[in-house]
Amino acid sequence: MPPAQSAAPSAVRSAVRVLGLAALTLLATAPRASAAEGWSLAPAGGGRPSFYAEGAPGAVLQDTVSVTNSGGHPVTVRLTGTGTGTGVPVTFAEPTVRVPARTRADVPFTMTVPAGAAPGDRSGALVAEDADGRTATARIRLRVGGPALSALTVEHVVVHGDRITYELVNRGTTVLAPKLAVRAHGLFGRVLLDRAARTLPVRLAPGTRTELSEPWPGRPALDAVDVRLTATAADGAHDTADTEARFVPWGAVAGVAGALTAGAAVTAVRLRGRRAGRVAEPLSMDVELTGAAR
């Protein structure tokens, strides 16, 4: 599977080549992506199941795609690189090609690797569509050269009730399959949660992040907790993040507070009653001594 060739941008202006029926015979066993009866799409040259390209950031890579019309009528197709998933612009010598009956059109194209592209593997496809809306694809495998860097961070750790939410971020240039370990301590260092590292059901592409959560069904009802998450991946990627949580049974606290409030109200009423009695007693004595009531 030979890789695409590096080329100057002017190469994309090469003329589209149209070959006759003899060429179709030679391609009878070549892998093809068939859109419908009559025409198909495949890498030029025969024998390649998909395109393979490799280059450093800033490189311009050239290859050729073939549209083969084995039917008895001409077909016109539109070629695009939309949705390739590679993040690499694709430019065709002729984006719209008319292919006569029983012929093959070879269409040169270039892929320009962005100057800031992170090293690593990417995959996608070229797409051809005819006037009736039928499509065919030819897969692309692209490897961007450069130093491999494995880097991973754990961010935004928060305890929400019986779950611990967090984000993993791939800050390197390689695809990561991260592992996570969880540990939590309560007051006086008591271990509340000790979950060994395990592989997570995600794969992180370079420069991407994902939000995940860890269940904690047995979390304490009343405690002050320190939580630590440790993420690891291949080639030494490693990071830890800490957070704190305070668990308080607010329902019980509200009940106690209500009882205390009621008790305080009753005490206040009793105190007011006693004070009122003490004020009235001297008045009664004054009446008896002065005889003012007679």
Q: Does pLDDT of 259 surpass 50?
A: no
Question: pLDDT tens across 180-196, in order?
Answer: 999 999 998 899 999 99
Query: What average pLDDT is seen over the chain?
Result: 80
* Burial classification of residue 208, based on how many CB atoms lie within 10 Å of its CB (0-12 exposed, 13-18 middle, 19 or more buried): middle
Q: Give the pLDDT score at 46.
A: 77
Confidence of residue 75 (pLDDT cuts 50, 70, 90): very high
Q: Ranked by mean pLDDT, which of 23-32, 192-201, 267-276 comes out on top?
A: 192-201
Number of residues that make up the chain: 294
CA–CA dist 279, 281 (Å, integer): 6
Give the mean model confidence (pLDDT) for residues 191-214.
Answer: 94
The CA distances from residue 152 to 35, 39, 227, 237, 238, in Å, are: 42, 46, 19, 6, 6
Which tops the pLDDT comparison, 235 or 252? 235
CA distance 226 to 192: 10
Cβ distance 82 to 1 under 8 Å? no
> What fold characterizes domain 152-247?
Immunoglobulin-like (2.60.40)
| Per-residue pLDDT reduced to its tens digit, 22-47 | 444 444 444 556 555 689 999 998 78
* Residue 240: CA count within 13 A, CB half-sphere: 10
- The whole-model pTM stands at 0.53
- State which CATH number among 2.60.40.10, 3.20.20.70, 1.20.1430.10, 3.60.20.10 fits the domain covering 5-144: 2.60.40.10
